[in-house]
Structures are given as C-alpha cells and as structure tokens.
Structure 1
Amino acid sequence: MKIRRILATAVVAAVTTPAVMLSVTPAFADTKPAEQTQAPAEAQAQAQKQAQAQNKPTLKELEKAAAEAQKAYDAALAAEKAAEAAVEAATADTAPLAVAAKTARKTADDAAAAKDTADKAVKDAQKTLDELAETATDEERKAAEKALSDATTAAEKAAAAHTTAETDAKAAQKLLDDARVEAFRVLHKAREAVKETRAAKTAADAAVERAKEEENQGGGEECVDDPGLTTTVTGFPDTVTAGTVTTFSVRVANDTGKDLDKVLTYAGVHATDKDGVKDIAKYLKLKWSTAASPKWQNVDGDLYIDAIGALEQGKQADIKLRLDVDAKAPAGQGLTFIAGDYFNEDGSCGLTPDAAVNEFDIKAAAAEPVTKPSPEPSTTAPAAGSGVTPQGSGSSVPVNTANGTLAATGSSDATAQLALAAGAAVALGAGAVFITRRRRAGADA
C-alpha cells in the first residue's frame, strides 16, 4: 500500500525554505479544517486526495533538502571549531584584554601602596607636631606644621590617583570578563546549532530513505484526512524517569457526520539520547487498557490499538495508555504520537489530520532505582471535561499531517529561530515513522 509522505513535505519546507519556520513574527498552525463546499461527499474526498498528492515532494526534492541539511551541519561544525578557538584565545593570559587588565591592576595596586605611604606620612607629621615641646621655637613649630600640610596634600593626591587607578582596573577587568563571557556564549550557541543541524540532517536523510521505500512499494490509494475524527491526550507529564511507569488517557471522538464501522487508535513512541543522535526507543514500551478490557496489554507491532470497534456519530471512546520506561534508559528526549484511523465496510477510510504529539524529557535513574508495580487501571474512564490529569499536565502539540505544518511562535533571536527549525525537523523525523505506519491496509492492523 502507498505510504503517506506528508511529513516529508514539512522536512523540505523546514530545510529549503527556512523563512517558513523562522519567521520573526508569531506563526500559528492553522488548526481549522478547510471550508467545505456543498459538493457530494465523493467529490469532496476526491478533491482532498488531489490536494494531498500535490503537497508531496518528489524524491529529487527530498534529496536536495538532505543536501542542504548536510551543508548546514557542516557549517555548524565549522562555526563550533571557530568558537572553540575564540574561547581559547579569550582565556589565554597573553590575550590583549588580559594583558591590559593585568597592567591596570598592577597600576591600581601600586597606587594603593603609594596612598598607604602618604597616609602614614600624614600620621607621622601629625605626631611630630603634637609632640613638640613647649620650649620649641616658632621656626620649629612652623616647620612641623608645613610638613603636616605637605604630607596632607600628598596624601590627597595619592588618594585621587588610587581612585582613578582602581576605576580603570575594574573597567579593564570588566572588559576582559565580558569578552570571555561572550566567547563562551557564542560557543554554547555554536554547540547547540551543531545538535540542531545534526538532528535536521538526520530527519532529512530519513525522509529520503522513506521516500525510496515508498516508491519501491508503490500501488494503493491513501485514506483521506477527516477533521471530524479527533484524538485528545490528557495527563501526560513533561518528564519521565527511568525505572518508572506513567499513565495517561486518550479520548477518540467521532464528529465526522457518519457512523464508523471500525476505529483504530495509533500509538507510537520515539526517543533519542541527549545529543539527539542515538535511538533509545527500545527502552520505552506502551501498553493500553479500557473499561471493557482493564488488563494492561502491549501495543502491537503495527502500533495500532484495536479497542474501540464501531463508533457512532457524536460518540466518543476512552483508552488508557501506560508508558513503561526501562530502568536502564539513559537521559534523553522523547515524543509520543497518538492518532486515529477509521475503516468502513464500503471501502472508505479516514485519518485524523492532526496527530497529538507529546514531547517529554527522560531522566536517568538513580544509582539503585526502585520500580514500583503499577496497579490495575480503574475501569471508570475520566468524565468528559473533567480536566483530570493524574500523572502531570504535559501538553499535546498537534502535528498537522495534511499540509505539513507545525505550530510555532516567533522570535527575533537567531538561536531561538534555529532551535525552532531544528526541533521541528527532529519531530518530523520521528513523525515520518508515524506516517509510514499509517497505511490504508490498517483494516487488518
């Protein structure tokens, strides 16, 4: 069956047209379905299929995007190397600013010593004047008074010189510190750019491989995107820890305008290490249960959950999911993809245009992690609109698989913009796996 390549379109957009992803003004994904005409349902479905086909990039376009991603990664590596050299130069004792700061500090220290000497001379002159005998002549008294006056004047000049020298020394040190901080800041941004462009390159390369696989498979037609079928995730946390389990809920709702003969829920998880390079998904397992089947069951190899069956128009169904994180899981980042498909006896089928994507951090376990057994899930599903989030309040980020767009917020900072594009590419790389698994043959998934 023909694989959907919608997310690959977004990879191309993220790499070849960064203005799409890096707008300095806020950009929001359009979550409203396109306004439908009053044409018959079959004509609407056909028009939607044609629109989807037009959005698909060619293999040549994907290969071009991968080449651009490679160039960006190479440039980031070069920038990182230059930034490391700049840090080394800025922190060297022979750096011009370091030499200037050292010289200014010595001048200030010498001025401080001169001030101390001048202050001592004032005290000595005052003592000499105070200890003059009553038999001292006027000339002796005038000489002592002049010595005190001269010492006081010299002390005032020494104090002023010390103040100036100390101010200059502090200013020189600040220039040195600021230059070194800036060098380290640039290095940090360069290293982040390396991570981000490496992730974008990985996603682009994966899109090329998946496109080649799709062309080799060939045949078949795709199901249409149907905004009337929705999946909503609640209770997913922002962080999970190795050796623990996390439960959350998924609600599948049918507002398609028709009864559905069979509804499947797609549930996948993707994870990488902290550098975004090594795939660590093997340490994460998804399980599911429902009120009718309260015993936890593993999500099958096709990542589909066949727990709902038929779903009437206007109805909804709840599924509980559990994410088990192996105690050996290293620190990293993860994504879960939750979506829905339906298949009718007349041969029609549809997909949720927006996959619910939850991003989360993975913390490594302590030295001796203790895994607590998870109790059997409650057979009572949370009430609609209850807002219950038993395991946290992580938000779901919709990935629009119909036109390859991601919700984003604008920023005038170049690093934030690069992070947005690269972060989107990482999500797209994982999401492309999600897309390739959702096939029209899902009726027997």
Structure 2
Amino acid sequence: MKIRRLLATAVAAAVTTPVVLLSAGPAFAETPKPAASKGATARDAGQEDPAGLDPDGLDLAELERLEAAYAAAEQKVEDLKAELKQRLKDVDANAVDPALKTELDAASEAAEAAVTAKETAAAELTAAKDALTAVEADPEATPEEVEAATAAVTAAETKLTEATGAAAAADLRHKAADKAYEEAVLELTKAYHRTEEKLRAAERELADAEAALDAFWDDQGGFEECVVDRSLVSRLTGPKKVAAGSSADFSLTVRNASGEDLDAVSAVVSAIQLPESWDDVDEEHPNLDKYFTLEWQTASDGEWNDLTSQFDPIELGPIAEGGKADVTLRLTVDAAAPAGEGVVSASGEYGNEDGSCGISEQYARFDFDVVEPVEATPTPAPTATPSPSASSAAPAPVRTSTASNAPVQQGGTRGQLAATGAGDRLPELGAAAGAAVVLGAGAVFVARRRKADA
C-alpha cells in the first residue's frame, strides 16, 4: 500500500545512515535520505476532494472491506509464523504424547526381561537334559532317579515354552509401542510442513490483499507523490544528563526553509533509551521508550500535552516563509530506569492547501545520559517548632529546565491547522517520519557497537 511503501522508505533511510548521524554534532544531526518511492499521496493542485482526506470522493464501504481483508491476511500470516516456529520446536524436541514415550520405555524393558527369561529357561532345559543323559548312562541309577531326571526335563521344556511365548508377546508389544512413537514423531514433521504450506498460501493472500488496496487507490486517479525534501529543518537542545526519577526540558525548533509559506506543519518526536545489547531487544516490539514519558508545550497555549504515542504528530499549524516554531519537550524518566544512553530525535512534515505535502529529509537528534538519582543532603531540623500540618505532600520529581517557553514564531502568523484538509494529511506521514526517527536512533546504536567491536 502507498502509505506502507512510504513507511518502508523512511525506515530504510533511517537504518542506512548511522555513519552520517555519528559524524554530526551532538545537538544537531543532518541526515540525508533517499527520495521516496510510492508513498502517501495528495490530489493534484486545483482538484477538490482529495482522496483519502475527504471521504466524499471515496467508496468508503469498499475501502473498509479492503482494509479489513488486508488486516485479516496480515494477522493470519503472523499467526502462522508463530505456529510454524512452535512446530519446529516440537520437531526438535520430539514433543509427542508423553504416554507414548512411557509405553515405549516400559515395552522395551519388558521385551529385554522376556528375552533374558527365555535364555535362562533354555539354559535350564539344556542342563536338565544333560542330567537325564547322565542318569540314564549310570548303571547304578535307580528307576526313581531316572524318573526324577525325566520330570525335570519336562518341567524345563514347559518353562521354556512359556518363556518363548512371553518373549514373543513382549516383542510384539515393543514393536507396537515403537511404531506408535515413530508415527507420532513423523506426524510432528508432517504438521510442520502442513503449517509451512498454509503460511505460503497466507502470504499469497496477503500479497493479493495489498495489491487490491493499491489498485483501489490507483483507481482514484489524479495523484502526485508527497516529496522528501529540506523544506523543514529541526534543531534540538537540552541537558546532557537526566537522572532517573526526574524530568528535564528539551527545546525543539522547526524552521521553514522551503522559500514559501507552509499551511500545516507537524513535528514527530521520539525519545528512546539505547540498550546495552541489541540482541536483547525484541525486533517486533522493541519497547525502547518504556522508561520515558514525553510532554510538549508551546508558549501560545501554555499547557502541557501528553504525547501518547511517539508516532503521533505535534501539530504546529502554519509557518510562514523563513519562520519557525518553538516547542518545549518535557522528558520524564522513570525511577526504575537503568543508567545508560538516551536519544531524543525529531523530524518535520507538512501539507499545503494546494495538495502538496512532504517529509523532511533532515532530522535532529540529541544524545544524553540517563544517570542514577543523586541523593539529597538531609536538611537539619529547624530549632523552632513547626506549625502542625494536616497532611504531607510527596516530593515532586526533580526537573532540570534548560529551555524557556519561547513563543512560536511563524513570520507573523500563528493558528490552528487549516481547515482545508492540508493538516489532515499529516497523520498519514507521521508513522513514516516517526519510524525513521526511532529506527534512525537505533541505527546509531548499532553503528556504535560495531565501531566498538572493530
């Protein structure tokens, strides 16, 4: 799908530029990215009702059906991948029914015991026959001795017959248990291959669902690509150390360097903590921001806003040619956060009333260290008796302020997103820009580790 292709392009750009990032200064990193292939789109200038932004020109029922089909196919692929992984583990571990293994072990022991008993009976029969022969050859042997030796041979023959039958039965039991166990092991392999075939079919279904969505958007007609350019330039400043259990302010400036007014601008911000080893990170769910909470504020509204998702854009409104927007970011580090390296990154994106839109090919990043909290020196008790208090308030987290709430400067203009649809396009770009910011920071970490290992 187009938006997914844009996301893939941004991610590819982010993870292929760690060396450039490392060569940049700590407070301002410029990272060139390749031009976007197919991505989020906008109507040609002059056309009304941008598809995907204004629903009047779309068959929403069909779009919803196609999106649902894609989501279902995608989930099916993920489920089958997980199942296939488990099937492989079962094959490697011979994870058959434990009762089959128990029976096989018991049957094997019984078969061995039966063979031993048969051999013992055969030896006893041989000894009995030898004794009878000796008695019969002895001229002084009494009839009673001959009769007793003959009875011993008969008893030995009976015992051997019984032992032979028991050994045969034990052998049949062992063969049946062994066959059942082997069939169960073979079934594990067959189940793996059946799941493998299902996965291939599901991947074809997913490709078909994606192609159907692409075809849907292609049929809308009159589209042009959003661009990746340097229309917006971002800069970050902040403290070099933030203690666990405290908050600190960072200053973000997004400047319009396009040479023309931009109708709707947003910033995508990320704050992550780099792990000691990338091998310990779940690739599908890295969760690198689990100890961080971000809030943002501009001087115009004076209120702190939670950044619930690091892919959600911060809407800055229009920025005139040469103007800029200043945002204060407040990072709160959980008290349980371990000491280590942290990165705050930011990228800009824009959309205009004429249908043009784009993502900045430059993004800013700022490195800092998460340090252990500094224990406060106890304050001596005052000599005067303090007045009684009804309750005691818990101490607030320490906050290191390094940036003032500077006003948003936009060349004389400041306002909410234009109600023309230009701003509505930005959430589509936010995921791509956000992925580039987050994965770009991850790429920095990988590059550092590789350099350290060299």
Q: TM-score band (shorter)?
A: 0.3 to 0.5
The normalised TM-score by structure 1 is 0.40
The normalised TM-score by structure 2 is 0.39
Decide which structure has the larger Cα Rg and report it. Answer: 2
